Amino acid sequence: MKKLLKIILLVNLALINSVSAEPELTPELKAGKEKALTICSACHGLNGQAASAGNSVLIPNITAQHKNYLVARLKAYKSGEIKHPQMTVVAQMLTEQDIENVSEWYSRIKITIADPEVEIAPPK
């Protein structure tokens, strides 16, 4: 009986630790998050949701965009292929590795869609 209780206690402790532990980010994701926080979040938000102007041509939401799309766009802004007064300046502040990292960060953000007709109980 004591052995069974110890096993149950250890399993519960392991479950508590796995639920409460913050997921470990790769070095690339950490760097991408930091760069997004310091450069991109003023307009696009850290979570990719535009802080102002909503999801518009002025400041689009970039949550869950494909990484390759984000990389291509940032490189095009940086090279001047796409001319945009703010994004050209911002992209020129990014190294090639920064572009990879920040694109990885925003591409990994997941979105959830809730049916507005379904009432969701608040978390307990």
What CATH number does the domain containing 70 carry?
1.10.760.10
Task: Look at residue 70 and tell me if it is in a domain.
Answer: yes
Answer with the residue of higher pLDDT: 20 or 71.
Answer: 71
Q: In this structure, is residue 36 part of a structural domain?
A: yes
pLDDT at 112 exceeding the cut of 70: yes
Does 17 reside within a domain? no
- Structural domain harbouring 50: 26-108
Most confident range (mean pLDDT) of 23-27, 54-58, 103-107 is: 103-107
Whether 50 is covered by a domain: the verdict is yes
Give yes or no for residue 96 having a pLDDT over 80. Answer: yes
**pTM (predicted TM-score):** 0.70
**What pLDDT sits at residue 59?**
86
Is 54 a domain residue?
yes
Tally of structural domains, the chain = 1
CA distances (Å), origin 94, targets 19, 71, 100, 107:
35, 11, 10, 17
User: Is the pLDDT at 4 greater than 90, yes or no?
Assistant: no
- At which residue do the structure tokens 């990014």 appear? 94
Average pLDDT over residues 7-22: 49
Assess if residue 77 is contained within a domain.
yes
CB 41 within 8 A of CB 83: no
pLDDT of 34 over the 90 cut? yes
